[in-house]
Amino acid sequence: MRSDRIKQGDKSAPQRSLLYALGFTEEEMDKIEEAVKQGVALAGGVPVVFPAIAVCDGIAMGHEGMKYSLVTRELIADSTEAMAEAHPFDGLVMIPNCDKNVPGLLMAAARLNIPSIVVSGGPMLAGTMKKKRISYSTVSEAVSRHQTGEITAEELRVCEQKACPTCGSCSGMFTANSMNCLTEVLGMGLPGNGTIPAVFSERIRLAKRAGMQIMKLVKKGIRPSDLMTEKAFENALAVDMALGCSTNSMLHLPAIAHECGIRMDLTMANAISEKVPNLCHLAPAGESYVEDLNEAGGIPAVLHELDKLGLIRTDLLTCTLKTVAENIKGKEIRDKTVIRPAEDPYSRTGGIAVLKGNLAPEGCVVKRSAVAEEMLCHSGRARVFDGEEAALEAIYAGRIEPGDVVVIRYEGPKGGPGMREMLNPTSAIMGSGLGDSVALITDGRFSGATRGAAIGHVSPEAAVGGTIALVEEGDLIEINIPDHKIQLLVDEEEIKNRKSRWQPRQQKLKNGYLKRYARSVTSGSTGAILE
């Protein structure tokens, strides 16, 4: 059966862990929806419910289904636009949770520019195994540990059953939670939107308040363009760096900004990162989870701490109808082991870095906060693979050695198409004990659950003849994350010769959405938006 790709075999353990979590999902999401409807009705409005699609990246991971993940962001935005224009709603309450429907709905809100507010379903709680907390990424790495004989099949089974104990978006600072937290910073979600766990009654109360708040926004005529300003996006980038968010934020924030008529250049991230300290090491970078961030004071506490350094604009309006300054007044850190104070950060620079060089003239992205110290500067021989599957096979077979730089190409927005997440290869590297000696470079992207020297969004991508298409087995690649550089150590004349011989790959795409998407999608450096 088609579903066997996520149900059968040891390698499908991460997907099964999320299927186990689904025991509560439908019921709990209904609770959020019902709470929003009650809030709207209590405030004198008439709620009308319509759905948006939402691919679960964890279930789509590691097979052809992942090609359909990023592409749904545009489908979500387009279909929401169509419904809201055809049925001229006065306002929108958006209820996302997993990765692409958060930015997709924010893109729709910006495009429509009618009063809107976001309330997510909330993060799941971390799992527990052998008195240690675990998450979806733990299962992904456990697959490799089983492949190498480090753990038994039974231990893998226990892990997959315990990793995702409740409904909600994954428990670490992965993509969904990253974007739900940044939604707060953009002023589009009430305080707590990104951090209150899905199973807490507080989440239901938040949903009711969101339903009531949309009526206030409608009556006052407050629109997304009043909230998602250029300065709000700068605040979002600052918090992104402080939290150590998913690298996918470097795709989604520019795409949302684009719908707002604001251009975000990737190099902005480095400029902000140089000023903003990394205050949090949430999973996969550390041992804390989003539930801990919530208890430590959540996003208001992070903003409050950054304000002490003068790193955010506090005069901006938010969906609370108060300014950032009013929202964060008195919101001190409650647990300094989860949110470090400004004077004692994990690092003086932010959690994400954009690298440039001849291998990525338009840039590439790495979650610096999740990279081992010894891998911040690294040179190694290229091990080249055209696609995720070939790379994964080599890692599992033990053909990747310490010092290597794994290059996975033709996985970009056009080349995939769909820019698949390379969580399985990075997890295999970590699970094989190579996380402090092997780097991975790709024109694809990564799950927020990825850790290690994982450098994605290489632009231009291989499918359009970017330098990554010209790398050959054994070439030396130099990575310098502190200096924001990535270089193919091959003579420029030789690169030109290889370029002259390069031929585009012929894609075998069926008629359908992926084929249309491949024709229209732009570079990862511009947020993979559609032309």
Task: Please check whether residues 252 and 384 belong to one and the same domain.
Answer: no
* Last-in-domain residue among 204, 222, 257: 257
Which structural domain, as residue segments, surrounds residue 374?
353-526
Predicted local confidence at residue 26, as pLDDT: 39
Task: Please check whether residues 252 and 368 belong to one and the same domain.
Answer: no
Give the integer Cα–Cα distance in Å for 417 and 409. Answer: 11
- If one counts the domains in the chain, the total is 2
* Last-in-domain residue among 257, 292, 310: 257
In a domain, 429, yes or no: yes
Choose the catalytic residue: 447, 459, 523, 525.
447
Strands (E), 453-514: 454-459, 476-480, 485-488
Task: Please check whether residues 492 and 377 belong to one and the same domain.
Answer: yes
In a domain, 434, yes or no: yes
- Residue pair 440/452 in contact by the 8 Å Cβ criterion: yes
Q: In DSSP terms, which residues pair with 356 in a beta bridge?
A: 485
Predicted local confidence at residue 355, as pLDDT: 97
Predicted local confidence at residue 22, as pLDDT: 57
Task: Please check whether residues 252 and 358 belong to one and the same domain.
Answer: no
Predicted local confidence at residue 31, as pLDDT: 84
In a domain, 57, yes or no: yes
- Four-CA torsion 394, 495, 270, 382, nearest 10 degrees: 20
In a domain, 531, yes or no: no
For residue 53, is it left (φ>0), alpha (ψ between -120 and 50) or beta? beta
Task: Please check whether residues 224 and 365 belong to one and the same domain.
Answer: no
Predicted local confidence at residue 23, as pLDDT: 56
Q: Is residue 529 classed exposed, middle or buried when 0-12, 13-18 and 19+ CB atoms within 10 A define those classes?
A: buried
* Last-in-domain residue among 227, 257, 287: 257
Q: What is the C-alpha radius of gyration for the chain, rounded to an integer number of angstroms?
A: 22
CB-based contacts of 169, cutoff 8 Å, min separation 6: 97, 98, 120, 121, 122, 123, 124, 176, 177, 180, 198
In a domain, 155, yes or no: no
Question: pTM value?
Answer: 0.93
Task: Please check whether residues 253 and 365 belong to one and the same domain.
Answer: no
447 catalytic residue (yes or no): yes
Task: Please check whether residues 221 and 363 belong to one and the same domain.
Answer: no
In a domain, 367, yes or no: yes
Task: Please check whether residues 371 and 226 belong to one and the same domain.
Answer: no
Give the integer Cα–Cα distance in Å for 40 and 260. Answer: 26
In a domain, 136, yes or no: no
Predicted local confidence at residue 30, as pLDDT: 67
Task: Please check whether residues 358 and 253 belong to one and the same domain.
Answer: no
In a domain, 139, yes or no: no
Low-confidence ranges of the chain (pLDDT < 70): 1-2, 6, 19-30
Predicted local confidence at residue 2, as pLDDT: 64
In order, the DSSP letters of 37-85 are HHHHHHTT------------HHHHTTSGGGGGTTTHHHHHHHHHHHHHH
CATH number at 503 reads: 3.50.30.80
User: What are the pLDDT digits (tens) for 282-303?
Assistant: 999 999 999 999 999 999 999 9
In order, the DSSP letters of 381-419 are EEEEEESHHHHHHHHHTT---TT-EEEEES-STTTTTS-
In one letter, which amino acid is 378? H
Tokens standing for residue 452:
């290690």
Element (H, E) at 439: strand 439-442
